[in-house]
A = this chain, B = another copy of it.
Amino acid sequence: MVQKVYVTYNDVHKLCKESAPRILDEFKPELIIAIGGGGYIPARILRSFLKQPNGKNISIQAIGLSLYENLGTGEPEETPGTEVVRLQWLDILTKASTSSTEAISHLIGKNILIVDEVDDTRTTLQYAVQELEKDVAEQSQKLGRSEKTNFSIFVLHNKDKEKRGTLPEEIVNSRYLAARTTTDVWLCYPWEAVDIEEHDRLAAQQGENSV
């Protein structure tokens, strides 16, 4: 039986808050890509703490990825899937460009922060980085542009376990931040809770075993 660890909304909020200075300092993100569904909530919270000195928000773009075996079960911790399915990809629009064909070109030369809730088997993150890097490389070549695009990663939790997916060394070594590293526990996020007060009680009870 896998140990369950309960994470409250305020835990998530504080993990984003405490991680923000390092993200700003080291990754200097100009765009957030949230991996949905799990990345939506941390990405939106994190954005509040990444506000620029001029008061501007960093834009969030969402991509939808799901691990096929548990597409829809909502309990990825139990049986992590192996095949990533795209549910939504990028379609970045600016005031000047209302055509989606330019979507990827807006990534070129930017510092881009990919946000998800958990790095479990790393399969989804590998897929996201690989596909985004591929799209950017293709567009760069097509447009004759050579600026370096830097992807960085933020997750609330990284499970310290053998990973199925791999990430580029450069990201692992210097552009990867997990607010907490855990053992291979079952992380119960608040947005999955049916009874949020019971969830909070269980979180409070776990005391020093919390993450």
Closest CB in chain B relative to A25 CB, distance in Å: 18
Please determine whether B74 and A62 come into contact, CB atoms closer than 8 angstroms.
Answer: no
- Our pick among B72, B93, B94, B200 for the contact of A10 (Cβ within 8 Å) is B200
A91-103 vs B, CB cutoff 8 Å, 1 = contact: the mask equals 1111100101001
Please determine whether B93 and A89 come into contact, CB atoms closer than 8 angstroms.
Answer: yes
Contact-residue bracket for chain A: 35 or more
- How many copies of this chain sit in the oligomeric assembly? 2
With contacts A41-B41, A72-B55 known, is A88 near B95, CB below 8 A?
no
Within 8 Å of chain B (Cβ to Cβ): is A24? no
What residues on B are CB-neighbors of A191 within 8 Å? 13, 44-45, 48
Within 8 Å of chain B (Cβ to Cβ): is A143? no
Q: Can you report 15 residue pairs joining A to B where beta carbons are below 8 Å apart?
A: A9-B9, A13-B190, A37-B44, A40-B44, A41-B41, A41-B44, A48-B192, A49-B194, A60-B64, A61-B62, A61-B87, A61-B88, A62-B62, A85-B95, A86-B98
A-B interface, 5 closest residue pairs, ranked by CB to CB distance from nearest: A9-B9, A62-B62, A91-B91, A56-B72, A40-B40
